[in-house]
Each structure stands twice: as C-alpha cells, then as structure tokens.
Amino acid sequence: MQHDYFPRYEPKTAVGRWFDDRLPLTRLMYDSFVAYPVPRNLNYFYTFGGILSIMLVVQIVTGVVLAMHYVPHEDFAFDSIEHIMRNVNYGWLLRYIHSNGASMFFLAVYIHIFRGLYFGSYKAPREILWILGVVIFLLMMATAFMGYVLPWGQMSFWGATVITNLFSAIPLVGESVVTWLWGGFAVGQPTLNRFYSLHYLLPFMIAGVVALHVWALHVTGQTNPTGIEVKSKQDVVPFTPHATIKDAFAMTLFLILFAWFVFYLPNYLGHADNYQKADPLVTPAHIVPEWYLLPFYAILRAVPSKLFGVVLMFGSIAVLFILPWLDTSRVRSANYRPLYRQFFWIFVVVCIGLGYLGAKPAEGGYVVAARILTIYYFAHFFLILPLLGLFENPRPRPASIADSVLGPADQPSGAPAAAGGVAAPETRG
C-alpha cells in the first residue's frame, strides 16, 4: 500500500546501507511487517491470517521430520506410523501435532473465510486477493486428503478409493483418468507413492500462493469491520507493535485450543477405522472423510447422478471464485447490511448442517435434508446475493474508520446524520 503514514526503513549502519543498495530484503520486511499501516478497528476475527501462517509453518516443520521416519509402502506405511508412535523420540508428539494440526488449520481457515464473507473482504479492489485465498483453500483440501491416505489405514485406503473414483464420472475418459490417477487398476502402491510425493510438494505450493496472497493484501490494504477504506493517518496504526502483539495474543489462545486436542484428545477428530491396517477386501461400514470435508461430501451424496454430484461438489467451491461478481451490493460490511447479515448467519448454519449430514449415512431423510441444504447453498450465491444488493437498504456508515472508533469528529459538515446509531456496531470489535 502506498502511504506515508509511518516512517519507512532507514538503514542505520554502513553495512545496512551496503546491503540495502544491493538487496533491499530488510527494507521489504520492515515496510511489510513494521511500518505497514493497519486499520485501527480490526477485531479478533482479523487475526486468523497470522494464525494460518503459523499453522502452515507448524505443519511443514512437523511434516518434514515425520517424513524422515515414514515409509511410503503399502506393506510398511502403517507399521512405520506405529514405529513413529512408539519408538521415535517424541514421535507421538510430532504425529499428533501434525494430524490435529490439519484440523486446526481448517478450523482457522473456515473462520478466516467466513470473516471475509461477513465483512465483504472479496469486493473490489480485493478480488485477486480473494481468488488467491480460494486457490489456497483448494490446495489445502488436496494436501489434507492425500496426507490422510498416508497412514494406510482402512479409512485412508477407502477414502482414497471413493475420492479418486469420483473422476470416473467424467464422460468418455473417466475410467482411463482413474486408472491413470491410481497408477494401476485399484488404489495401491503406485497411488500411495505419488500421494506421498504430492503431499510433500503441495504445502510448498501453498506457501508460494500465500506469499502472493500477502503481496496482494499489502497492495490493497486490509479491509476492516466498517468496510470503509483507510483515508488518513487517523485511521491506521503501525503493524508493529499493534497488529503484531494482537496477533500474538490470538495465536497463543489458538495454541491453547490446539494443545487441548494434541495432549488430551489426540484421536478425537480422527476415525477409529484408521487404526486398522488397510484391507482391500474389507469395506468399512461407513466411509467418511475428515470433518473439514464433510459439507462437500454431503453435497456430493445429495445428488442422485454421480456426474452431477461431482460437478456440484466442485461447483460449491468454484462458486467462491466468482463471488466478487455475484454480490451486487456496494456496501462491504454486513454490519451495515441488515438483510445480508441475517442471510449470512443462515448460510453459516446451512454449512454446519451440511457438515453434520455429511457424517450421516446417505439414506432416507438425511438425503432429503442434504438436498434442501444443497439447494440453499447455491441459492445463497446465485439468488440471494445478487438480489440483496438491489433490494437492500444499507444503513448509514461512519465517515471514516477513526470516526467509528473515536466517535465522530466535531465537524458539522460531512458528519453523517445517523452517526449516533452507527457507532453501535463498531463497538463489537
């Protein structure tokens, strides 16, 4: 973001100047994470970007060490996991951090995404920023899915079978595509080996897209609960120390939750079936993905046609790519959109409901319920969001971010008439 709110980097030593003239890396870091201006009214929902970057680092570090002990072979993968759990020093800790870390990563990313939906963070000029985020989300899902296959337990094997089989729904070439994905005629050694390779590769691709995501963020600047752009120095605080310390506090709280699962409920979020070695001859009673993929699984199974189910499942994520153009309202923050705010919360409940149904067997009333919620899911994007922007009367917004925090400045002209009423939603931050 172009600004002159806070002093930029000034090398203080001769070495610093020498370095800065040749590779201004310190300058980049300083200007991005120290002098960078942050809206002063960000609430704690805006700390999840920082939490997510920490989670990515945690996953990569634990994953790299786990990879030193793991054996990607259909006969030894399960045994090597037990070897890690029993014989590797603190192997149990590494593995439980890594497996629960995936869940925490998704918990954080869902809060991050819903925060973006609530405050309209995807609207111009932040479309690219948002789309990069959706790309990260897709990469995360692929990474998590392939990682879940690696222990080569029953749910690993059968989950891999179900998900790779989805591609057989592609007309004409579906079967060939699936054989190509498997590297054979069933999920087996070649599948495990390539999933391992990709599971190691994708996190670094995520890291790359995260860098673009942060770059795009630093070009446009952050949104904030008012949805009003930064207008003056009054509206912002420097990233360090303000955002740094606030992020650090949120991260510590998040780590407490994380530790609660790692140390006391390490298997709560997993499936018991995955402590049984993969057996191609025995199908588990219910094949269910990890909790964070359940809403999409529910959409997949809600449709009687396999091809259409796959299309809708991928469509439920693809729709996020065009979201910036589906929402016709020019007001960003749901705080000033009385109708959208209610539809937002309905949408949250619908997503949780889909998650619940994804865990249930696809029979009887569960399917009916999943169909209703699936239809609503898409109606939210294709009907409600476009129409709301046309019919909704947004509430008046404060004149500036500073006004919303500090109260309106004493200027008779330009102060919104309803300023008193507007101040209320801001106090929530």
Partner 1 sequence: MHNALIRLLAAILLVLPLASLSYAADDESGTPHYPKNKPRHVSWSFAGPFGTFDPQQLQRGLQVYREACAACHSLGYVAFRTLASESGPHLSADAVRALASEYIIEDPDAPEGERPGRASDVFPDAPPYPDANPPDLSVITKARTVERGFPTFIFDIFTQYQETGPDYLYSLLTGYQDPPDDVEVPDGNYYNPYFVSGTALAMPPPLFEEAIAYAQNADDNPNNDVPETVDQYAKDVTAFLMWTAEPHMTDRKSLGLAVMIFLIVLAGLVYYTKKKVWAEAH
Question: How far apart are alpha carbons 184 and 241 in whole angstroms?
Answer: 55
Contact between 264 and partner 1 by CB under 8 A: the answer reads: yes
The three-state secondary structure class of 238 is strand
Q: What is the DSSP letter of 414?
A: S
Out of 16, 356, 386, 415, which residue is the one contacting partner 1 (CB under 8 A)? 356
Residues 361, 369, 141, CA angle at the centre, nearest 5°?
A: 65
Task: For 121, list phi and psi in degrees, rounded to 5.
Answer: -70, -10
The three-state secondary structure class of 142 is helix
Question: How far apart are alpha carbons 192 and 194 in whole angstroms?
Answer: 6
Question: How far apart are alpha carbons 107 and 114 in whole angstroms?
Answer: 11
Residue 8: CB minimum distance to partner 1, A: 21
Out of 79, 184, 190, 383, which residue is the one contacting partner 1 (CB under 8 A)? 79
Contact between 69 and partner 1 by CB under 8 A: the answer reads: no
Site for partner 1 in 173-232 (CB under 8 A): none
Question: How far apart are alpha carbons 289 and 159 in whole angstroms?
Answer: 6
Question: How far apart are alpha carbons 147 and 415 in whole angstroms?
Answer: 55
Out of 68, 256, 390, 424, which residue is the one contacting partner 1 (CB under 8 A)? 256
* Two structure tokens written together for 308: 């259409």
Which residue's CB is nearer to partner 1, number 45 or number 275? Answer: 275
Contact between 353 and partner 1 by CB under 8 A: the answer reads: yes
Contact between 363 and partner 1 by CB under 8 A: the answer reads: yes
Residue 119 C-alpha from the chain's centroid: 16
Query: Burial letters for 94-119: b for 16+ Cβ neighbours within 10 Å, e otherwise?
Result: bbbbbbbbbbbbbbbbbbbbbbbbbb
Out of 102, 144, 228, 262, which residue is the one contacting partner 1 (CB under 8 A)? 262
Out of 190, 338, 420, 421, which residue is the one contacting partner 1 (CB under 8 A)? 338
Nearest alpha-carbon partner for 72 in 205, 188, 201? 188
The three-state secondary structure class of 239 is helix
Nearest alpha-carbon partner for 249 in 29, 41, 46? 46
Which residue's CB is nearer to partner 1, number 64 or number 349? Answer: 349
Contact between 383 and partner 1 by CB under 8 A: the answer reads: no
Out of 19, 114, 321, 343, which residue is the one contacting partner 1 (CB under 8 A)? 343
Which residue's CB is nearer to partner 1, number 178 or number 303? Answer: 303
Out of 364, 413, 414, 428, which residue is the one contacting partner 1 (CB under 8 A)? 364
Place of tokens 């190509």: 180
Place of tokens 């932040």: 126
139 contacts: CB under 8 Å, gap ≥ 6: 202, 205, 206, 209
Which residue's CB is nearer to partner 1, number 177 or number 359? Answer: 359
Nearest alpha-carbon partner for 265 in 96, 406, 131? 96
Amino acid at the residue 60 = I
Which residue's CB is nearer to partner 1, number 343 or number 378? Answer: 343
Site for partner 1 in 139-168 (CB under 8 A): none
Residue 372: CB minimum distance to partner 1, A: 5
Residue 327: CB minimum distance to partner 1, A: 17
Out of 365, 390, 410, 412, which residue is the one contacting partner 1 (CB under 8 A)? 365
- What would the x/- binding string for partner 1 be over residues 5 to 34, using CB under 8 A? ------------------------------
Contact between 366 and partner 1 by CB under 8 A: the answer reads: yes
What is the rounded end-to-end Cα distance, in angstroms, of the chain? Answer: 24
Contact between 368 and partner 1 by CB under 8 A: the answer reads: yes
Contact between 387 and partner 1 by CB under 8 A: the answer reads: no
Which residue's CB is nearer to partner 1, number 93 or number 207? Answer: 93
Give how many residues touch partner 1 by CB under 8 A: 57
Question: How far apart are alpha carbons 224 and 41 in whole angstroms?
Answer: 7
Contact between 304 and partner 1 by CB under 8 A: the answer reads: no
- Stretch in the footprint of partner 1 (CB under 8 A) among 77-85, 104-112, 125-133, 166-174: 77-85
Site for partner 1 in 265-284 (CB under 8 A): 265-268, 272-273, 275-276
Question: 37-39 and 236-238: which strand pairing?
Answer: antiparallel
Which residues of the chain form contacts with partner 1 (CB under 8 A)? Answer: 40, 79, 82, 85-87, 92-93, 96, 237, 241-242, 245-246, 248-249, 252-253, 255-256, 259-260, 262-268, 272-273, 275-276, 285, 338-339, 342-343, 346, 349-350, 353, 356-357, 360, 363-366, 368-369, 372-373, 376, 391-392, 405
